[in-house]
């Protein structure tokens, strides 16, 4: 009977450990559609500039033992950004579209908290590695 109880306890511990490991990785699909002013670009271009972004981001997040985000892997397979200068706002009425699939990896070290550092490694479709160290805020 003791052996059976021990076996049940070991199996329960193994299942609990397996579920903790499985729960430490989260995957989310985020649909993005947003339009906003681009003051920096408007100032640089001398006309109002608006940006509209559309796409789907697939986000995979791994948490550490403390439940903090340890790393994040983001992919955007079909993502577009439309840069426009609306005539109704005094702009040129012209626009261009950038289609830019990308992959980004963020290493949060010992775990992300407000104000902590993230080390990004962003690779675009041409294999370029972009980005300095970021601070979460």
Name the burial class of residue 95, with classes exposed (0-12), middle (13-18) and buried (19+) by CB atoms within 10 angstroms of its CB. middle
Q: How far apart are CA 42 and CA 36, in angstroms?
A: 12
Q: Long-range contacts of range 113-117, CB-CB < 8 Å, 24 or more positions apart?
A: 113/68
119's enclosing H/E stretch is strand 117-124
Report mean pLDDT in 10-residue bins for the chain, 137 residues: 35 40 77 94 94 92 90 86 93 91 82 77 55 48
Q: Which neighbouring-strand residues pair with 32?
A: 55
Who contacts 119 (Cβ-Cβ below 8 Å, separation ≥6)?
Answer: 106, 107, 109, 133
Question: CA-to-CA distance for 101 and 16, rounded, in angstroms?
Answer: 38
Phi first, then psi: what are they for 136, rounded to 5°?
-70, 145
Closest CA to 80 of 19, 35, 115: 35
DSSP 33: E
Summarised one tens digit per residue, pLDDT across range 18-45 is 444 444 889 999 999 999 999 999 999 9
pTM of the model: 0.57
CB 49 within 8 A of CB 41: yes
pLDDT value of residue 127: 54
């Amino acid at each position: 009977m003791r052996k059976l109880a021990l076996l049940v306890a070991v199996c329960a511990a193994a299942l609990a450990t397996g579920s903790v490991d499985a729960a430490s990785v989260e995957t989310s699909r985020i649909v993005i559609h947003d339009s906003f002013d681009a003051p920096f670009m408007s100032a640089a271009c001398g006309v109002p500039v608006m940006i509209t972004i559309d796409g789907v981001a697939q986000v995979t997040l791994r948490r550490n033992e403390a439940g903090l985000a340890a790393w994040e892997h983001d992919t955007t397979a079909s993502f577009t950004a439309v840069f426009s200068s609306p005539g109704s706002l005094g702009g040129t009425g012209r626009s261009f579209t950038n289609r830019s699939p990308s992959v980004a990896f963020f290493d949060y070290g010992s775990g992300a908290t407000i104000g902590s550092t993230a080390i990004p490694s962003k690779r675009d479709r041409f294999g370029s590695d972009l980005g300095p160290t970021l601070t979460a805020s």
